[in-house]
Amino acid sequence: EAQVTQNPRYLITVTGKKLTVTCSQNMNHEYMSWYRQDPGLGLRQIYYSMNVEVTDKGDVPEGYKVSRKEKRNFPLILESPSPNQTSLYFCASSSPEGGYTFGSGTRLTVV
């Protein structure tokens, strides 16, 4: 089944403790991206990647890092999480023909 898999689904952490949210897709898509969704602010893009070793900032990249060492994986790294990064995070991938596939989401709480 074609899918984007994120882990973990839920995470509670403390301020400053580095964490990584993993994202993997099995569709051989070149394009991958991360979004966060907050009440009243909607879905906003954090980072995206057009291909392996090619990443770029989205609309809200501050406090996040990403890497794209292989086509299928696109982890989101929070080096020093803060409470304002408490959010619902989605990873997505797409093909040049369009049509994004989103993961099931990771609900992150930073206390």
Partner 1 sequence: LAKTTQPISMDSYEGQEVNITCSHNNIATNDYITWYQQFPSQGPRFIIQGYKTKVTNEVASLFIPADRKSSTLSLPRVSLSDTAVYYCLVVSEAAGNKLTFGGGTRVLVKP
Binding site for partner 1 (CB under 8 A): 4, 31, 33, 35, 42-45, 48, 50, 58-59, 88, 90, 92, 94, 96, 98-105, 107
Nearer to partner 1, 31 or 80 (CB): 31
Kindly give, in sequence order, each residue whose CB lies less than 8 Å from that of residue 41, ignoring residues fewer than 6 positions away. Answer: none
| Shortest spacing between CB 104 and partner 1, in angstroms | 6
List the structure tokens of 39: 């009440």
Name the burial class of residue 97, with classes exposed (0-12), middle (13-18) and buried (19+) by CB atoms within 10 angstroms of its CB.
exposed
Q: Are 34 and 46 in contact (CB under 8 A)?
A: yes
List the structure tokens of 45: 């893009």
| Shortest spacing between CB 67 and partner 1, in angstroms | 19
Nearer to partner 1, 78 or 90 (CB): 90
| Shortest spacing between CB 90 and partner 1, in angstroms | 5
